[in-house]
């Protein structure tokens, strides 16, 4: 029972800094929705509002229920799971400990489930997470998020700092998760071309506001997007 998500009048402040300014989003159930924009545009703050890890005003509605009053763990129970920027894995703990930290219930079943998606993790269970390669760490971070059995997976810059071949693996996994596991994906990316290659539609944030929105093909063809975010190609 995956539902649409609607965001109305979202504002995030950090002291005097107005990071998100009245953002309105509609995230259809089953979609990959990209949130794009430059450094500091407010993408991460928007995602953190979904996750409940930052204070905000405005309302986030899942189906017909506002989640604004729910703390982080209750949002996770509802299936809203964040894979944070910088991965947020525990570098001094083993792969297995990281995975188990992501699970609420059905730990065994969820482990088998993520091994199906990331078979390499099964051979690395006792490896210290900090000794994995950057790409492997990103995959571990996604795997850990999947351990919570999300219905809505929020990914903050999963391609950051990774070689193109690894980015390709990550985007393949995101597509797989969306198409086969029917998980709604909210994808924050500075890498516009990567995000628009897999998203169904997207929002471009500028200075805390939605500057552009549309279907992924439309955004890819938009002259402003091409000039500012796709390197003028």
- The contact set with ligand ATP (CB under 6 A) reads 14, 17, 19, 37, 39-45, 85, 190
Select 37 or 150, whichever has its Cβ closest to ligand ATP.
37
Q: In whole angstroms, what is the distance from residue 153 CA to residue 68 CA?
A: 18
Select 32 or 41, whichever has its Cβ closest to ligand ATP.
41
Give the nearest distance from C-beta 146 to ligand ATP in angstroms. Answer: 23
Give the nearest distance from C-beta 205 to ligand ATP in angstroms. Answer: 6
Q: In whole angstroms, what is the distance from residue 98 CA to residue 86 CA?
A: 15
Select 42 or 202, whichever has its Cβ closest to ligand ATP.
42
Select 14 or 120, whichever has its Cβ closest to ligand ATP.
14
Give the nearest distance from C-beta 46 to ligand ATP in angstroms. Answer: 7
Give the nearest distance from C-beta 19 to ligand ATP in angstroms. Answer: 3
Q: In whole angstroms, what is the distance from residue 186 CA to residue 156 CA?
A: 8
Residue 231: how many other CB atoms lie within 10 Å: 9
Select 45 or 192, whichever has its Cβ closest to ligand ATP.
45
Give the nearest distance from C-beta 232 to ligand ATP in angstroms. Answer: 21
Give the nearest distance from C-beta 166 to ligand ATP in angstroms. Answer: 19
Q: Point out which residues pair with 20 in neighbouring strands.
A: 12
Select 56 or 118, whichever has its Cβ closest to ligand ATP.
56
Contacts of 152 (CB under 8 A, 6+ apart): 2, 5, 27, 50, 62, 79, 80, 81, 183, 184, 185, 186
């Amino acid at each position: 029972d995956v539902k649409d998500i609607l965001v109305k009048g979202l504002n995030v402040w950090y002291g005097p800094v107005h990071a998100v300014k009245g953002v309105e989003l509609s995230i259809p159930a089953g979609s990959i929705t990209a949130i794009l924009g430059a450094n500091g545009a407010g993408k991460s703050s928007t995602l953190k509002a979904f996750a409940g890890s930052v204070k905000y005003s405005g309302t986030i509605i899942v189906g017909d229920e506002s989640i604004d009053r729910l703390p982080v763990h209750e949002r996770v129970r509802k299936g809203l799971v964040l894979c944070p920027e910088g991965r947020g894995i525990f570098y001094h703990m083993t792969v297995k400990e990281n995975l188990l930290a992501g699970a609420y219930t059905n730990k065994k079943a969820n482990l088998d489930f993520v091994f199906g998606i990331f078979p390499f993790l099964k051979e690395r269970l006792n490896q210290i997470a900090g000794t994995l390669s950057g790409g492997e760490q990103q995959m571990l971070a996604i795997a850990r998020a999947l351990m919570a059995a999300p219905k809505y997976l929020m990914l903050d810059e999963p391609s950051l700092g990774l070689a193109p071949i690894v980015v390709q693996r990550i985007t393949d996994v995101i597509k797989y998760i969306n198409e086969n596991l029917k998980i709604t994906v909210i994808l924050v990316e500075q890498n516009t071309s990567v995000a628009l290659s897999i998203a169904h539609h997207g929002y471009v944030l500028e200075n805390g506001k939605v500057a552009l929105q549309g279907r992924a093909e439309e955004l890819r063809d938009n002259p402003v997007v091409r000039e500012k975010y796709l390197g003028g190609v």
